[in-house]
Structure 1
Amino acid sequence: MSDTLPTFEDVRAAAARLAGRVLHTPLLRHPLLDELTGATVLVKPEPLQRTGSFKLRGATNAALLMDPEARRHGIVTHSSGNHGQACAAAAHMLGMKATIAMPSDAAAIKIAATRRWGAEIVPFDRHGVDRDVLASVLAAERGATIIPPFDHPDVIAGQGTVALELLEDAAALGLVPDVFAVCTGGGGLTAGCVLAFEALAPRADVWAVEPEGWDDTRRSLEAGHIVANGPPASGLCDSLLSKQPGALTFPINHRHLAGGVAVTEAEVFRAMRFAFDHLKVVAEPGGSVALAAVLAGRVAAKGGVIGVVISGGNVDPAVFARALAA
């Protein structure tokens, strides 16, 4: 893997490479959302993406850039679900083998969806096993290539197509976001979106949004260097439970992000219910944190334009029932 930081041109190239392989998801609006925020809110609904999250973009871009010999030996990754499913789908698309290390307590719906693509699932203890070491061991055994969940230039570039599409679709409406809220775990989606905003809307304030107790990006931005998460907190937002920002993602995010905010479980459930009731989108907890921040007023632009990503919709039915009942 190259340690060279990706650029906006890499995002542009990824968009061309992914055309016809991933969906160009639409922009959604709702008058109640505008009324509640006092802004024009543009929602990018990645639950409508194939595999149900934005992760397919980065995984597919990285897989497409592998040479034929590397493809012959397949890919390996570790994931709580969305990236694993995306790698499995990308491998299936390109006729490769995929081995996915997944926490043994990962959402059953994500494990089943990953297995349906034909991937080999290797379970591990989320709190007792170093997932990066495990992935390295699995890759060495198989001669396979590791596609990390976020800290990889090709993955970052692929994820940046989320913001590229949003900005281009907004421009077609005569709109430019003043503020952008993005769900943040390890920072791959955030970094890719930053690259697009730096090029096409450099005056916009881009905010990283994380769940309470897993706000390593917020704290790292404030400290000016990478800070790891502390003792395990709530696992509700399972798709965002990274140990710390990435060595590639953090330098990109640090140079441009306006800051980071954290949202509560109650705010996450409110966002999930709002997305279901009004946008007709099923959103998972981790995929809802950016919308939660906008609804709670933690990310705001009165009289302006707000872009917000719902990043995934692969939610366990029991968890979704809790959101609807909250």
Structure 2
Amino acid sequence: MLELSNILEARDRVRETSRHTPLEYSHTYSAMTGADVHLKLENFQRTGAFKIRGATNRIATLSEAEKAAGVVTASAGNHAQGVALAASRAGVDSKIVMPEHAPISKVKATRNYGAEVVLDGTDYNEAARRAHEIEREEDRTYVHAFDDEYVMAGQGTIGLEIVEDCPEVDTVVVPIGGGGLISGIATAVKAKNPDARVIGVQAEGASSVATSLEKGERVSLDGVDTIADGIATRSVGERTFPIIQERVDEVVTVSDPEIAVATVYLLERSKTLVEGAGAVPLAALLFEKFDYEADETIVPALCGGNIDLNTLTNVIVRGLVETGRYLKIRTVLKDQPGALEDLLEIFTAHRANIYAIHHDRTSRDVEMSDTEVEIELEMRGPDHVDRFLDDMRESGYEVDVLV
């Protein structure tokens, strides 16, 4: 099983390629939670995510014959970029299989780092099947995204940095996909600070580890569905699962709306961009998915910042909806002069700022003497939304909340 010595060796191998990323105290989240919160900003890592650490460590251990034959892997994006860059720096040819619907930004970045990209499958597991076929056909070395001791050891260098930069840490909160990251971090943290807790976080739509721990054995999900594509794996690794069982104190799940809220908070309050997988540790803290004491020193590991801009737009809107900052409604007015003006008086009274209005006289859902109106509004929070909707309904309007 992975030990501290493996991680210390990995640190020497990855030192020149990976960065020692910042660990910053957050006044905002400390005030919001009552804890002493420090953010591990691994989204500032080269390639935008932690994966460069494990990929570099694995490729550094290849024989000359293996280097000459090249490497292959499967990834939703971050591991792909890590392997591509690590292989390029080592002079090794790399071929990466990514799901057909992988974020465009991650596909382009992987190619730019020097890899040949093959798009195949609907998710990580299907991409991995194709990658293993290439492994056999071309005699390449498969660099597993998480279920590899060298990869785990490389990711564990994050744990060393956390403990060294924040010796007083009580709890480290880590995202989980296949388990390589948390296996490495938990091994390093527990070896250096046995009293510290390690909390794992999964998306509800990809909760293979949480389910496996409940059943006491590895469970493979039929499918995954989450905005956190970086941790959207159907099953935990064969090698990572026993490490998680032994060294991780608790595994919790967060919903996609909660992930969206955490992403928006990080953008707005911390001026920090993360992808869904990078936001899950903060989401678990903000939505109190695990118990903690006042003034407890907590380090959420924000382990990825590679989010597709189209996805980011949807995530921001969902985060604004969940925090009562954005509202889209539908109502019906009489198709006569002054009807819209009367409605707008309510908006003015509540200082609800209008983004857009769509006025439709031809809708088949209303009487011919009526008109349907859809309105997008900027609001100031849940209480503001509730007061505004109550006033509209008291004024005789039937209101459907669309978003």
TM-score by length of 2: 0.76
Percent sequence identity over matched residues? 33
Match of 1:29 among 19, 25, 43: 25
Q: Report the equivalent of 1:193.
A: 185
Q: Is the 8 A contact 2:226 2:256 kept in 1?
A: no
* Contact 2:157–2:185 under 8 Å retained in 1: yes
| Structure 2 residue aligned with 1:90 | 86
User: Is 1:30–1:278's contact at 8 Å kept on the other side of the alignment?
Assistant: no
Runs of 4+ in 1 over 6 A off after TM superposition: none
Q: How far apart, CA to CA, are the structure 1 residues paired with 2:75 and 2:125?
A: 13
1:77 to 70, 73, 78: 73
- Residue-by-residue CA offset, 1:84-135 (whole Å, 9 max, x unaligned): 1110000111111100000010000000000111211111122597433322
Deviations 1:67-91 (A, max 9, x none): 1221111110000110011100001
Letter in 2 for 1:223: K
The AA in structure 1 aligned to 2:182 is T
What residue in structure 2 maps to residue 276 of structure 1? 267
Given that 1:136 and 1:146 are in contact with CA atoms closer than 8 Å, whether structure 2 keeps it comes out as yes
> In the alignment, what sits opposite 2:234?
243
Give 1:235 shift: 3.4
The alpha-carbon deviation at position 289 of structure 1 amounts to 0.6
Q: Secondary structure at the match of 2:278?
A: helix
1:303 aligns with 2:311: no
| Gap change, CA 1:75 and 1:168, over 3 Å in 2 | same
CA change 1:127–1:313 in 2 (3 A) is: closer
Superposition RMSD in Å: 1.5
User: Are the aligned partners of 2:124 and 2:233 in contact in 1 as well (CA < 8 Å)?
Assistant: no
Q: Which amino acid aligns with 1:243?
A: R
Q: 5+ unaligned residues in a row in structure 1: which ranges?
A: none
SS of corresponding position for 2:260: helix
Q: How far, CA to CA, are the matches of 1:37 and 1:114 in structure 2?
A: 37
TM-score by length of 1: 0.94
Instruction: Report the structure number with the largest CA radius of gyration.
Output: 2
Is 1:65 the equivalent of 2:61? yes
Of 222, 235, 246, which aligns to 1:255? Answer: 246
Greater relative contact order, per chain length (Cα 8 Å cut-off, separation 6+): 1
Partner amino acid for 1:242?
A: T
Q: Give the SS at the match of 1:23.
A: coil
Contact 1:88 1:98 survives alignment (8 Å): yes
Alignment pair present for 1:134 and 2:125: no
Alignment of 1:40-55 (within 5 A): 40-55=36-51
Provide the secondary structure at the position in 2 that maps to 1:138: helix
Structure 2 distance, partners of 1:131, 1:271, is: 29
Q: In structure 1, what is the Cα distance between the partners aligned to 2:35 and 2:55? A: 34
**1:296 maps to amino acid:** F
- Counterparts of 2:126 and 2:261, CA distance in 1: 33
Corresponding position: 1:218 with 2:214: no
Contact 2:275 2:304 in 1 (8 A): yes
Any idea what SS the aligned residue of 1:321 has?
helix
Question: Could you tell me which residue of structure 1 aligns to residue 142 of structure 2?
Answer: 146
Structure 2 counterpart SS, 1:235: coil
Given that 2:263 and 2:273 are in contact with CA atoms closer than 8 Å, whether structure 1 keeps it comes out as yes
